[in-house]
A and B are shown apart, each in its own frame.
Chain A
């Protein structure tokens, strides 16, 4: 049997609602709206009486039904006889009424007009830019103080970060760089073999790995691996009050958390870039000797002839900047994290997306600069 309510009007002025059966959120039941409509449609009704006949069981659905009836009647100044309501139900209804209602809602939940929305977006961009510039300024002050010997980095912590961002990243850098070299070589062979110019596969792979792909691929891997880890670690520290504890113990978060990470990644990125470039060339070699009649010696000799020292240094310089960017963005996003697990995830995602975008933009700027100065 489901929860049923029946309405009858006595003497044109008293509405009697009889509540019967088993009221459950899992079963069909009567809804308060239809009764309220009927009652309000008859202005002659002055009072409402609730009768509980053969009530088998009840749960939240009956309490909700009664609260709707009571509130509507109260709003229309109708008298409701609540004496018959079972004690347990009455207690819960009273308890729900004692909960204080907050007089104002948080600012963020307010509906806004288009102009307000544009203004809010403008302010958000302004404050984000201000925060980023503030962070960059503090970071450079930290770096200069470190170079000047005024700030010290804890040796053990720094060594751990170096190991984390350097040695432990080698396997993934190896895999990705090898495959990228392999892919470039295979694509090149397909085109160059039509002109009998297979030998130039070595040029293409060598120059692209040294100048572009080595540093970009390493930068992207580091964004997804290390930048994300920095953001997540610092974000979690914020959630656990560890960053507040650092501040209230008198330590600068920039010097303590950011500086070791930025310096470590800026130092490690060129090494990883060199490693990536050589592994990429090795991948190209494997593809070239398996797909063409080139020998290892010819391929290596052609690579040595094609790649000059400028290409090598271009990759190194770019990788230093990419390392700095990835670490700084990861740490900055981590420090902006709020105090929930969801925010840690969001912060990590933002850090990866921002640093990959920054790497591509920075690479484009470098391409323009290097072409202008003829390198």
Chain B
């Protein structure tokens, strides 16, 4: 089976400074794939490479077996194929929540105004923001902005959803609710989810597989099911990173 996303020998740079070398991994259809590691290891930069926001040479990243450079300019790749939830929600501040969610629908679908309004209400209801349609991003809390960002990310029912630190800045109850929502979306829509995170509770609660980016060796030092990684990894950094998680989860 062709992986949904495939990365082959990718070298990541930031301002001519190599931050990761020889990254290779596959993400399968329908899994919740986690990119984990210490702060500053390059998780968010890897996300930018996967999203095509940072240029990459040919034959390094593949979507459904096709080179990313040949698919990012195809209409419908962004929005229909992939959706993204950024760390702070990244809502367009000059628009209301409803307008934020409606914009991709207005642009890419032939739906009429009434249907768009209904879908906007549906998406905002899914993230618990029904009734906030006419609020501007500056009028709601950070956690609500993040949920509204998720409503926008799923506006076009994308095949793959990317999350950049979804639980950052959220209290544990809100973070748990977001985790449940991600699981629900994955189960009900069958989407593939890629999450950049260092939230250990989320890693163990929802992760199907994870890769650990090691800041010292500048490459992937562990790949697998989070619980198994903790039990079987020989890498001291991986164990140190994940063992804090077991205490948190058990505690």
**Chain A residues with a Cβ under 8 A of chain B:** 100, 104, 106-108, 157, 160, 237, 240-242, 244-251
Known: A106-B17, A248-B79. 6 other contacts (CB 8 A): A104-B17, A240-B90, A242-B90, A246-B92, A248-B84, A251-B107
* Number of cross-chain contacts by CB at 8 Å: 67
A240-B93 contact given A107-B17, A250-B75, CB 8 Å threshold: yes
How far, in angstroms, from A348 to B88 measured CA to CA in the complex?
Answer: 23
The CA of A251 and the CA of B86, in the complex, are separated in Å by 16
**Complex Cα gap A250–B84 (Å):** 11
Q: Is the CB of A241 within 8 A of B88?
A: yes
Within 8 A of A (CB), among B155-198: 162, 164
Q: How large is the interface on B (under 10, 10 to 19, 20 to 34, 35 or more residues)?
A: 20 to 34
A242 contact from B79, B92, B164, B215, Cβ within 8 A: B92
A245 and B92 contacting across the interface, CB-CB below 8 Å? yes
- Asked, given contacts A245-B86, A248-B82, whether A157 binds B53 with beta carbons under 8 Å apart, the answer is no
Assess whether B70 is interfacial by the CB under 8 Å rule. Answer: no
Q: Does B76 belong to the interface (CB within 8 Å)? A: yes
Instruction: Name B78's closest neighbour in chain A (CB-CB).
Output: A250
Complex alpha-carbon distance, A242 and B90, angstroms: 5
- With the chains together, A250 CA to B109 CA distance in Å? 13
Q: Within 8 Å of chain A (Cβ to Cβ): is B250? A: no
Interface of B is mostly: mixed
Tell whether, in the assembled complex, residue A242 and residue B15 are in contact, meaning their CB atoms are under 8 Å apart: no
CA separation between A241 and B53, bound complex, in Å?
11
Selected from B48, B79, B87, B152, the residue in CB contact (under 8 A) with A250 is B79
List of B residues within 8 angstroms of A237 by Cβ: 92-93
Bound together, the chains give a CA A241 to CA B216 distance in angstroms of: 28
Q: Which residues of B contact A (CB under 8 A)?
A: 15-18, 48, 51, 53, 75-80, 82-84, 86-88, 90-94, 103-104, 107-108, 149, 152, 162, 164, 215-216
Q: Are the C-beta atoms of B215 and A107 separated by less than 8 Å? A: no
Check B94 against A100 for contact (C-beta < 8 Å).
Answer: no
Q: Which residue of B lies closest to A248 (CB)?
A: B84
Q: List 30 A-B contacts (CB under 8 A).
A: A100-B215, A107-B17, A160-B94, A237-B93, A241-B86, A241-B88, A241-B90, A242-B90, A242-B92, A244-B48, A244-B51, A244-B53, A244-B86, A245-B84, A245-B91, A245-B92, A245-B152, A246-B92, A247-B78, A248-B53, A248-B78, A248-B79, A248-B84, A249-B78, A249-B152, A250-B78, A250-B79, A250-B80, A250-B104, A250-B107
Q: Which residue of A lies closest to B145 (CB)?
A: A240
Q: Tell me the bound Cα distance from A104 to B162 in angstroms.
A: 31
Q: How far is the CB of B147 from chain A (nearest CB, A)?
A: 15
Complex-state Cα separation, A269 to B184, whole angstroms? 52
Contact A240:B88 (CB < 8 A) given known A247-B78, A250-B79, A251-B107: yes
- A107 to chain B: closest residue by CB: B16
Q: Which chain B residue shows the least CB distance to A109?
A: B17
- The answer to whether B88 touches A248 (Cβ under 8 A) is no
Distance A166 CA – B93 CA, assembled complex (angstroms): 22
The interface centre, meaning the residue of B77, B78, B108 with most chain A CB atoms within 10 A of its CB, is B78
